[in-house]
Amino acid sequence: MAPTFDPGKDRENRRKHGVSLARFADLTRRYAIYSPRAGEDRWIVLGFLDGTLHTGIMTRRDGDVRPISLRRASRHERQEYARVYPD
């Protein structure tokens, strides 16, 4: 399923992080962590794009996957992923 997102949010994410929210669908070997917020359920998703671990934030609206942010994973996130999923 292709993600749906706000074009303005996508422009901002590309400017800030250098990656389009459209790439959220391309994440491989991913796992999600539930992260509740007031008024909206969210998930932190870790997965690989082009061989590099990325972190995405998503929610579901009207049954659609809605990426909120997508960026290269921090050093701490890479270490945690390696701890949970050793290769």
Burial 9-23 (b: 16+ CB within 10 A, else e): ebeebeeeeebebbb
pLDDT at residue 1 in the model: 59
pLDDT at residue 87 in the model: 73
Domain residue extents for the chain: 7-84
30: left (phi over 0), alpha (psi -120 to 50) or beta: beta
The position carrying tokens 């061989």 is 51
pLDDT in tens, the chain (87 residues): 578 899 999 999 999 999 999 999 999 988 888 988 778 899 999 999 999 999 999 998 888 889 999 999 999 999 988 998 887
> How far apart (Å, rounded) are the C-alpha atoms in residues 44 and 34?
7
> How far apart (Å, rounded) are the C-alpha atoms in residues 40 and 74?
24
Model-level pTM? 0.88
